[in-house]
A = this chain, B = another copy of it.
Amino acid sequence: MSKIIPVSGFPEWKPGLQVAQERILDVIRTHFRLHGYSPIDTSLVERVESLSAKGGGENEKEIYGLRRLHGLPTDEGSLALRFDLTVPLARYVAQNERELAFPFRRYAIGRVYRGERPQAGRFREFYQCDIDVIGNGTLSLDYDAEAPAIMYEIFSKIGLGDVLIRVNNCKVLRGFLQGFGKDSSLHNSLFSLVDKRDKIGQEELSRIAVEELGLPSDAVESLASFLSTKVPLDAIKETISQLSDNPMYQEGVKELAHVVNKMLELGIPESAIVVDMSIARGLDYYTGTVYETALRNRPEVGSVCSGGRYENLVANFSSRPFPGVGMSIGLTRLVYRLAELKLLKEDEQSFSRVMIANMGSSSAKTASQLAQLLRGAGIACEEYMTEQKLDKQIIFALKKGCTYLLLIGEDELATGSVCVKNLKDRTQKVVPFNDVVQLLV
């Protein structure tokens, strides 16, 4: 007999939390589909050289390769587990270019693997839920507004309150930083520093900029003031276009204003959008629009999804440009965090709120017919199939989170009726067999 030691970083939920996660997944999947995104479910296994094609990067250091435990080795040595859903997408697009209709909208929901050091709250296996649109050659800026619109809908439906979408454009920040002289390594260092602003705070950011990067104090002040500029949605250009005459900056401002306008057109309310000059998100990846999000009334949950536009990703696999834009929900981290904060209902261990009691063999057939009737009407229900005292059956139903217990005893069998017990409010009524569906719908 083996002793079971849980593996840190490879999370598994108890049934109640798993049901909560499935409900969130259902909403995500439904809305991805409502917008015409194609489901793509690439293998979890990629060739090592595909994963390494980008060259360097933190994620690559954390790759898990496959190996053979027994038997003759074949090609396992060249295979590894994916660390995100974007590299597989790039590879898939390059490989299936002719089959796809561009702009190619795709969603992917799946697990990814990162060899982090095992420690509490760090995941080595986790779900990502991604939407991306990939253009063939070019991709209209209007698409940059769609992912946040879909994410807004999703979080409205999940019932955690409004999501707040912070949006920026990499060119704006990069262009602004170019105003501090020609030292591009300084720009890069400052860009990475700004990316950490949410974590370290503006004060620490300014200290590092002065003490470690040697930025003159007037430049630091100008940067601090820039990063915290309040930008009204209806006057983006008017508010920030005069802050720098750098051409990249000007292009970024124009794009940003266009994308925000389109976000409003796609139905995101004004109150859910914040233009935030301090969103940087990864130096070598995103090239235009970038998004970061939080729950308005639950900022402690942290980022619920994020993303942006990239111009060069598929370029690792194809000689032609395939620009893209997308967002990703880190589902496992989100569910973990929501559970930690007790924001999820975890008392339902299945999708059924109805249990049909076992009242012995004389009513077994009728009980099964009732179950089939309910399921035919879309009502999930579970038949208790063990002969057992009723109080034990009630304990079972309560443990699973059922609300209704249906009984067909001798009286009900004789009169063609069903006793419907509400286990939550402890009431019960006897109704004709054919009226049960209507009562429970």
Contact = CB atoms under 8 A, between A and B. Distances in A.
Interface stretch (A96-104, A172-180, A217-225): A96-104
A67 B77 CA distance: 10
A103 B385 contact: yes
Number of copies: 2
A2 interface: yes
Given A69-B80, A101-B349, A15 B2 contact: no
Contact of A382 (B10, B36, B75, B92): B36
Nearest to A60: B70
Contacts of A349: 38, 100-101
A71 interface: yes
Nearest to A372: B267
Interface in A139-161: 139-140, 142-143, 146, 153
Given A33-B380, A40-B15, A67-B64, A75 B118 contact: yes
A382 B4 contact: no
A285 interface: no
25 contacts: A1-B316, A1-B319, A4-B50, A4-B317, A5-B47, A7-B47, A7-B75, A12-B42, A13-B41, A34-B381, A35-B382, A36-B350, A36-B352, A38-B349, A38-B400, A44-B44, A101-B396, A101-B399, A102-B396, A103-B385, A139-B386, A140-B385, A140-B387, A142-B386, A267-B372
Interface residues of A, number: 107
A69 B113 CA distance: 13
Interface string A348-367: 01111001000000001100
B12 A92 contact: yes
A95 interface: yes
A7 B365 contact: no
A138 to B, nearest CB: 8
A91 B67 CA distance: 23
Contacts of A146: 383, 385
B266 A53 contact: no
Interface in A263-313: 265-267
A96 B1 contact: no
A115 B386 contact: no
A186 interface: no
